[in-house]
Structure 1
Amino acid sequence: MEDAVSSNSISFFPFLLLCYPRADRFKTSLQFRPVPYGQYYDALDACKVADYVVFVLSPTVEVDTWGDTLLRSLQTQGLPEVVSVMAPNTLMDPKSRSGIMKSLLSFMQYFVPTQTKVFDLNVSSDRTNALRTLSEGTPGDPRWRDGRTWVLGEAAEWDDGVLRVTGVVRGAALSANRLMHLPNFGDYQISKIFSAPLPRQHSKTNGMDIEPTLIVEPDHDEADSLISSNDPDDMANEQTWPTEEEMNAVSGDGQEHIPDASKGTTPKIVKRIPKGMSEYQAAWIVDETDDEDDGEEGEGGDHEMEEQEEQEEMVDLVIGENKDTESAIQQDADFEDLDLEEEGRQLEKWRNRKREEDDDLQFPDELDTPQDVPARTRFQRYRGLRSFRTSPWDPYENLPRDYARIFQFQDFKRTERSVRRKSEEDNNTVEPGTRVTIHLRDVPEAAAKRGLVILFSLFQHEHKKSVLHFTVQRNTEYDGSVRSKDPMILCVGPRRFVINPIYSQHTRGGGKGPNNVHKFERFFRHGVTNVATTYGPIVYGNQSCMLLRETSNEQAPHLVAMGSFLNPDTTRIIAKRIILTGHPFKVHKKTATVRYMFFNADDVLYFKPIQLHTKHGRTGHIRQSLGTHGYLKAHFDGPINQMDTVCMPLYKRVYPKWSRLWTAGEGGPISLAIHDGALQTVDDAMEE
C-alpha cells in the first residue's frame, strides 16, 4: 500500500455487487467501501466522506423506486466526483450495447449533469480507464464540506465509555477543542488524540514497533461544552409586591408625592384605550373619526373660511346628521330578530352553499365561527392587523417557554466569519492526512458495533439550539399531503433530526419586509417555495437540506422536499391567519346588515375595532350590534351588494416544536393518524 496521505477513500454504492482489481500499476492506494443495496442511511453517510462515488448500473434491470429516491437524495445532499460504470453481463447482445450505453448515460446526466461517459466493464480498456480516472483524477468536495474535518473509521473499539476510532484526518485540520458528531448517536467531546502509524512501517525500523504517541489534548478553557440549550429561570420575571413603606408613601392624600408633568410632555391627542389593554395592543384600534369617509358629510371643509361661512356649514351638517339618524332608526324598526330554529335553518342553508374553486384558492384560511363557544373565547389569542405587511408586531411579546432555552445572535454572519477565522488560527490541531486514533468520551457501546463509523468535526457553537429557517420546495415525485407540524426527518450537513416544522411564505428576494411578519401555511403545496421553521442546532454555511417522511420500512423513506439553510432568525414572526366570513343580509348603499359572522352580541362588541373587507375589494368597520343572534351593522367605503362576502381576518403567532436527534431503529418518531386521506399527527387531529 502507498502512504496514507496520498490514498483516496471511495464510497462504492453498487446496484449490483462487484469487485475491482487492485490499482498497483497506477501506484495509488484505493480504499473501497461497498454499501449493501437497501441501506439508505448508510449510503448517505458513506457519500458524505467519499472522494469518489461509483455507481454500478445494470444493463437489464431498471432502477426501482428506492434507487430513484436515493439518487435524488444524494443529488440534494451534494455529491463528490462521480464515476458511472455498467456491470458486466455475458448475455448482453453486442448489437444493443451502443443503445444501452447511451440510455444509461442519459439517465445519469439527469442526476449528475457533469457525467460524460459510462464505462463498460465488459471491455478491458474501459476497466483500465475507470481505474485511471479514480487513481489520477482530482476529487472535488461538496460545498457543505468547506472548512470541515471528517474521519472515516478504519477500526473502532469501546472501553468503559471511551470510543477509540482510528482513521485518516480528511478535509481541514482537526481541532481537539471542537465537538465531534457521530451519526445516529450525537455530539461528543474529544479526550485525547494519538498517532496511529501503519503496521507496514514496522519493517523500516528493524523490527522495532512504533508506539502510538499523544499528539494533542483539548484545552479545558477553549474546549466546547455539551450544553446545547439554556436553563430557563422561572424566577427572573416573578411578580413582586410593594413594600410596606411604598404603601404608606401613597396612603392618605398622596398627591404631593406625584410631580407635575414637564411642559411639552402632555400629548395633544388623547386616545381612549379599553380597560386592561396596553398601548401596544390597542395600536390596531381604529378611532371613530378615522372611518367617517362619507362624501355627503365630510367634504367641503376649508380651514381658511370666514366665520359666517363656517356657521352656515355647521347648520348643513346638523341637518344631514338628523337625516341619517332618521334613516338608521327606520332600518332598526324594520329589523326582525328570528327565532333559534329559523336561524339554524338559514345558517345550514348558507354554509352548505357550493364554494367556488377560485374563492377557495383566494381565501384558503376561511373558518366558520363555532356556535357552542363564544368567538371571543375561541379566538382570544388572535388579533387584528390593519396592515399585515406594515403593522408593527413586537417579536418579544408573549414568547413560549422554549424561547428561554435557545440562543440568539446579534449578527449571525459576523459570528460565522469570526468562528471560521478562529478555526484557521487554532494551533491545537492535527493536520489533514495524518493517521490518528481519536478518543471520544461518554459514548454508548452500540456506537462501536456499527459497520461504518464516521466522525464529523463541528464548528464552534454548532451544538447550541436556536430557531432555524430553511427554504424548501416539494419533491415533484411525492404526491402525499404535507401539512405544518407533520413529523419529518431533517437531513442537513452531517446531522439528522426528527422535527415538526411549520411552513410560512417566503418573502420575495429573501428579505424580512418592514415588520418581519410572514404568513403561516397550513399545507406545503407543490410549485411554491416555502420556509420551514424548527428548533435545532446552529448551522453554518449555505448547507443543503432535505425533508424525509418515514414509512413502514425504515430504510425506504419518502423524499418530501429539498432546499437549503436560510438563517437562524429568532425575530421572524410566523402569523397564522383565519378569516371569519359573514353574509350581507340587508344592504343600503354603503351600510349592510351582516349575519353568520358571530352568534351573540358580546362577540360583535369584542371584535368591533377590527377592520372588515369584502371579496370584491371593499373595506369597512362594524358600527353596532343588532339583536341577540350576532347580527351586526357595518359601514364600508363604497356600495356593496348581497352577492358579496364580508371577511374579518385575524392573526396569531405560531411556533414549531422542539426537535431531537434521529437514531436508526427507533421506529416512527410520532404516532400518526389518517384523517380525510391526509397524514397528520394525532395531536393535530385531536385539536381539530
Structure 2
Amino acid sequence: MVDAVHHHRPSGLKQQNKPFKSKHTTKSALKDLTKGRTQRPSPKSLAVNTAAQARLNRRNTQKQAQAAKRASLVTSTRIFNGVDGAPRIVAVIPLCEDVRTIDAVRALATSVKEDLDGINENSPIWTMKTQRFKTSLQFIPVRYGRHWEALDAAKAADYVLFLLSPTVEVTETGDTLLRTLQAQGLPTVVSAIPPDPSISSLDQKSHTAILKSLLSFMQYFDPSQGRVFDLSSPSDSLSALRSLSEGRPGEVRWRSGRTWLVGERAEWEDGTLKVTGIVRGSRLSANRLVHLPNFGDYQVTKIMSTPATRSKPHKITAMEIEPQVLSERIPSTADSIISTNIPDEMANEQTWPTEEEMAGAVTREVGMEDVEVPDAKKGTTPKRIKRIPKGMSEYQASWIVDETDDEEDDEEKEDAVTEEEEMVPFNEAMELESEKKSVVAFQDLDLEEEERQLQDWRNRAQEESDAKEFPDEIDTPRDLPARTRFARYRGLRSLRTSPNTLEYSSLKEFKRTERDVSRAAENEGVEPGTRVTVYLEGVPQEASDSNHAPIVLYGFLKHEHKKTVLHFTVQRNTEYSESIKSKDPLILCYGPRRLRVNPIYSQHTRGGARGANNVHKFERFLWHGTTVVASIYAPVAFGKQPCTLLRESENAHAPHLVAMGTFLNPDTTRIIAKRIVLSGHPFRVHRKTATVRYMFFNSDDVAYFKPMQLHTKHGRTDIFGSRLGRMGISKRISMGR
C-alpha cells in the first residue's frame, strides 16, 4: 500500500523576490546575457538622444569657431607682440580746421604718462611706447586739407584716428575726404575730439548731445563706430588708447596677400636708396619689384637684417652683431623693370583702312572740282528688299502684286515735276498742289535765311543734355565733307551682332596666373614682422626727402609691373555735379598706384553677357545713376582692388571725387565701338516717305554713303536715296567704328 502524498494547490499569493542584479556587471557577463541580441531603442529614448547629440554638435561648433577666432586674433596680432614687435601705425586725420593734431596725440600719451619721440610739427612720424599695454605706436600726423597726405597715410596705417571739432561742422572738403577714404578702403577707425576748453565748460546734457551728433555723422561713413571719445577726459583718453593698443586691426581688402614697409629712416647714396623698417602683410622678396609712391617702380638689390635699438641693456646675439643678407636678387628669376613689349606689326594684321584708303575717301575738296565720286557698284544695294513666302521661288514671288509697288509708281509720278513747277512762287505752288495732289511744292530760301534756320535748329543749351536726350546723334559739319569726317566709320546694323574683323592679342589664363602668383608669393622672401633694410637701385635723390610724409614701400606680385588694357566698373559720385566726358584728364587711384589717365567709358553689360563679338558701345559722358566701364592702358593689377577717379581743383591739395568703383578685368578682347546717328530736320512727310534737311550738304556725300543699307529707329528699312531734298536726304543712317 502506497501512501498518497498531499499537495497544496498553487496560489498567486506566494511571494517571489526579484533576483539580485549586480551594478558592476562585467562585459563578458553582459555579452553572455545578450547572446548577440541588440535592443531596439524606443522612439522616446531616440528623440532624447537626438536632441542631446544636436546640443553637443552645437557646442562643438561654437567651440571650434571660438578657437578659430582666437587663433586668427593671435596670428593677426603676433607681429605686434614682444620687445621687438612692430609698432601699430595710426594715421591721425583732422576733419575740421580748428583741430590741432599735436594736442590730441599728447592727450593720449598723458593718459598713460608716457613720452613722445620725435614730436614736431614737421616730423613725419611720432613714436610712443606704452609699458601699460606692452606695445608701441607710430602716429602719422596729417595736416588739415591735405588730401593726398591723408590718402597715403591711410593706405599704410593699421588704424585711422579721425579728429572732430565740437564747435565747427565738417565742411564739404572734409566730407569729400571721408568719401574718398571710404572708397579707397579704411582700416579700423577711431573717432575722437581733441582737448577743448569750450566743451569742458558745458553741462552734461549738452556734452552728451554733441557726442551723439558727432557719432551719428561718423556712423554714416563707418557703421561700426560705437562711440566718439572726448580726449579732454582722462578716462576717455585711456579708453581711446586701449582701442588702439589692444584691438585687432581691420583688414583692408586690397592689401590682402600683399607686403608693405613703412620707413623709419632712409638714406640715399649714389642712386641707391636704403629704407629701414618692419615688413608687414606678407613676405617681401628681392626678386619682386617695389613701388615707391609718386616716384615709380624699382628693383631691389638686397634685403639686410637690421636689429632694433634698445634703450635697456640685453643679451646680444650673434645675429645682432653683424647684419645678414636675408634675400638677394637673382637676375635669372627676378622681375624686369621693362613694362611693355615691342609689338610685331605683322603678328596680328588688322583689316584697318590704310593711309591710301583714307586719302581716297576725300574725293572733292577745294581745288578738286573735276574729280567725280564713283557711283555704288551694281548689286551692292538691292533696289528693293522683298520678302518671299516660304516654299515659293523668286520667280513665282515676282508675280505677286505688293502695295509697295503701287507706292513706288506714285513716287515716280511725284518725281516727274518739271523745273518750271518747282520754281513757281509759293502761292501758285499751293494752287498747283490742290490740282495735283501728287505734287508737293518746295520753296527755295535765300542763303541768309537758310543759315539762320540752321543755326536756330543747332542752338542747344548744353552738349551733355543733348547727348542724353539724343544719344549718338550728331550733326553733319558744313565746312567738312561727311565722307572725310566719317571716313573711319563703317556701316553696321548692330554693334553686337555685326561681324567684326578686328583681333587683339589677349592676356590668356589671367585667373590661373593670378592664383599661381599668389601661391608662389606665400613661400618666397622675408617673413612679416622682420626688421630689415631694403636697398633700391636707380632711385632719384628727391625720394629720400620726407616732405612731411614717411617713405612707404609696397611690394608687387609677379607680372604686376606689365602694362595692359584695364577695365574698371565705376559709378559717379552723387555729390559731384560737373560734366565728365570721355578722355577728360583724371587721376586714377587703385591699390598703391596713382596715375594720370584719360579713361574712355563704355556700357557695362549686366550678367556677364558679352555678345557675339564682345562689342560694347562707347559712352561720351559719365552719367549720374549708371554704372559704366572705364578703360585705360596701365600696369596690371591682381585681385578685386577698389579704385577712385579724382579731378584736380583750384586747391592742389584737395581734389574732387568724381567716381569710385572696382577693378573688373584686363580683357584685351573687349571692343569699344563708337556709334553715330546722322540726324536732320524733318521737312516733309508723305505716306511712307520723309524728306529730311541738314543731313548732307552736297551730292558727293550722298553718292559716297549710297551703298549703305539704312533703317529707321523702329526698324524700317529701305534703299538709300529714294527721295532727295534740297539740303538733305530722306533717310536715317547709323554707323559705328
What's the TM-score, normalizing by structure 1?
0.77
Letter in 2 for 1:94: D
Name 2:415's counterpart in structure 1: 332
Distance 1:126 1:549, change over 3 A: same
Match of 1:661 in 2: none
Q: Residues 339 and 49 of structure 1: is their aligned pair in 2 closer, same or farther, counting only changes over 3 Å?
A: same
Shift in alpha-carbon separation, 1:545–1:625, aligned structure 2, 3 A: same
* Counterparts of 1:80 and 1:627, CA distance in 2: 67
Q: Larger strand proportion, structure 1 or 2?
A: 1
The Cα shift of 1:541 comes to: 0.8
Measured after TM superposition, the shift of residue 515 of structure 1 is 2.2
What residue in structure 1 maps to residue 170 of structure 2? Answer: 63
2:274 paired residue number = 164
Confirm or deny: 8 A CA contact 1:471 1:566 kept in the other structure.
Answer: yes
The aligned residue for residue 241 of structure 2 is 131
Match of 1:214 among 315, 325, 329: 325
Q: What is the SS of the residue equivalent to 1:473?
A: strand
Q: What does residue 100 of structure 2 align with?
A: 16
Q: Which residue of 2 aligns with 1:577?
A: 675
Residues 153 and 166 of structure 1 are in contact (CA less than 8 Å); yes or no, is this contact kept in structure 2? Answer: yes
SS of residue paired to 1:530: strand
Measured in 2, the distance between the counterparts of 1:184 and 1:47 equals 16
1:475-624 equivalent positions in 2, closer than 5 A: 475-614=573-712, 617-624=714-721
Partner deviation per Cα, 1:260-300 (whole Å, 9 max, x = no partner) = xxxxxxxxxxxxxx9999xxxx9xx985277225xxxx66x
Does residue 375 (structure 1) correspond to residue 482 (structure 2)? The answer is: yes
SS at match of 2:240: helix
Partner in structure 2 of residue 74 of structure 1:
181
1:415 is aligned to 2:513: yes
8 Å Cα contact 1:604-1:630 kept in structure 2: no
Matched residues in 1 for 2:329 and 2:656: separation?
A: 41
Return the offset for 1:504.
Answer: 1.4
Matches of residues 152-301 of structure 1 in structure 2 within 5 Å? 152-200=262-310, 203-205=313-315, 210-233=321-344, 287-288=381-382, 291-293=385-387
1:677 is aligned to none
Counterpart of 2:149 in 1: which secondary structure? Answer: helix
Amino acid at match of 2:89: S
Which stretch shows the higher mean deviation, 83-92 or 534-543?
83-92
Query: Residues 48 and 206 (structure 1 numbering): CA distance in 2 closer, same or farther, change over 3 Å?
Result: closer
Where does residue 94 of structure 1 map in the other structure? 203
SS in 2 for 1:486: coil
Displacement of 1:628 in angstroms is 9.0
Opposite residue 736 of structure 2, the aligned amino acid is Y
Does the 8 A contact of 1:165 with 1:438 survive in 2? yes
1:330-479 matched pairs, under 5 angstroms: 330-334=413-417, 336=422, 342=446, 345-346=449-450, 348-349=452-453, 352-353=456-457, 361-396=468-503, 408-426=506-524, 429-450=525-546, 451-479=549-577
Distance 1:606 1:625, change over 3 A: farther
How far 1:536 sits from its partner (Å)? 0.5
Q: Which amino acid aligns with 2:307?
A: P
Identity of aligned residues (%): 53
Q: Aligned pairs, how many?
A: 577
Give 2:392's match in structure 1, choosing from 297, 300, 303: 303
The amino acid that maps onto 2:734 is P
Give the distance between the partners of 2:256 and 2:198, measured in 1 at CA. Answer: 45
**Kept after mapping to 2: 8 A contact 1:157/1:448:** yes
Contact 1:601 1:627 in 2 (8 A): no
- Deviation, 1:148, is 0.2
Q: Structure 1 pair 462/620, CA: closer, same or farther in 2 (3 Å)?
A: same
The verdict on how the C-alpha distance between 1:46 and 1:587 changes in structure 2, with shifts beyond 3 A counting, is closer
**Contact 1:202-1:210 at 8 Å conserved across structures:** no
Structure 1, residues 581-612: CA drift from partner, whole Å, max 9, x if none?
Answer: 23454444323444332122232232224343
Residue 651, structure 1, aligned to residue 736, structure 2? yes
Distance 1:289 1:540 in 2: 55
- Displacement of 1:574 in angstroms is 1.3
Determine if contact 2:585/2:598 at 8 Å carries over to the other structure.
yes
Distance 1:600-1:199 versus aligned 2 partners, 3 A rule: same
Q: Which residue of 1 aligns with 2:139?
A: 32
Runs of 4+ in 1 over 6 A off after TM superposition: 206-209, 235-239, 274-277, 319-322, 337-340, 354-360
Mark the CA change 1:122 to 1:625 in structure 2 (over 3 Å): closer, same or farther: same
Post-superposition CA distance 1:442-491 (Å, at most 9, x none):
00001111241000001111111111111111111211111111111101
Matched with 2:50 is none
Distance 1:582 1:66, change over 3 A: closer
Q: Give me the whole-angstrom Cα distance separating, in 1, the residues matched to 2:404 and 2:467.
A: 41
2:159 to 48, 52, 60: 52
Partner of 2:55: none
Instruction: Please give the alpha-carbon distance, in whole angstroms, between the structure 2 residues aligned to 1:339 and 1:314.
Output: 39
Q: Which amino acid aligns with 1:16?
A: R
Over alpha carbons, which structure has the higher Rg? 2
Residue type at the aligned position of 1:650? M
Cα distance per residue 1:387-419 (max 9 Å; x no partner): 22322223428xxxxxxxxx8411221221121
1:4 aligns with 2:84: yes
Residues 141-185 of structure 1, C-alpha deviation per residue, up to 9 Å, x if partnerless?
Answer: 110001100000000000000000000000001111110000000
Where 1:532 maps in the other structure, the secondary structure is: strand
Counterpart of 1:42, as a letter, is: E
Could you tell me which amino acid in structure 1 is paired with residue 93 of structure 2?
A: F
- My pick for the range that moved more, 341-350 or 145-154, is 341-350
Q: SS of the residue aligned with 2:321?
A: coil
Q: Does the Cα contact within 8 Å between 1:622 and 1:632 map onto a contact in 2?
A: no
C-alpha distance in structure 2 between counterparts of 1:7 and 1:62, whole Å = 33
Distance in 2 between residues matched to 1:8 and 1:609, nearest whole Å: 71
- Counterparts of 1:625-644 in structure 2, within 5 Å, are 631-632=728-729
Q: Structure 1 stretch 551-560 or stretch 437-446: which is displaced more?
A: 551-560
Return the letter of the residue paired with 2:485: R
- Given the superposition, is the C-alpha separation of residues 334 and 6 from structure 1 closer, same or farther in structure 2, using an over 3 Å criterion? same
C-alpha spacing 1:596/1:147, structure 2 compared with 1 (3 Å): same
Q: 1:360 to 1:430 in 2, by over 3 A?
A: closer
Amino acid at match of 2:668: T
Question: For the residues of structure 2 that align with 1:455 and 1:535, how far apart are their CA atoms?
Answer: 23
Report the equivalent of 1:41: 148
State how far apart, in whole Å, the 2-side matches of 1:325 and 1:169 are. 82
Distance 1:431 1:215 in 2: 10
Which amino acid in 1 is paired with 2:716? Answer: T
CA pair 526-316 structure 1, distance change in 2 beyond 3 A: closer
**CA deviation string 1:496-522 (max 9, x = no partner):** 000011111111234423321112121
> Which moves more between the two structures, 584-593 or 506-515?
584-593
Aligned-partner residue type, residue 449 of structure 2: R
Q: Does the aligned pair in 1 maintain the 2:273–2:544 contact within 8 Å?
A: yes
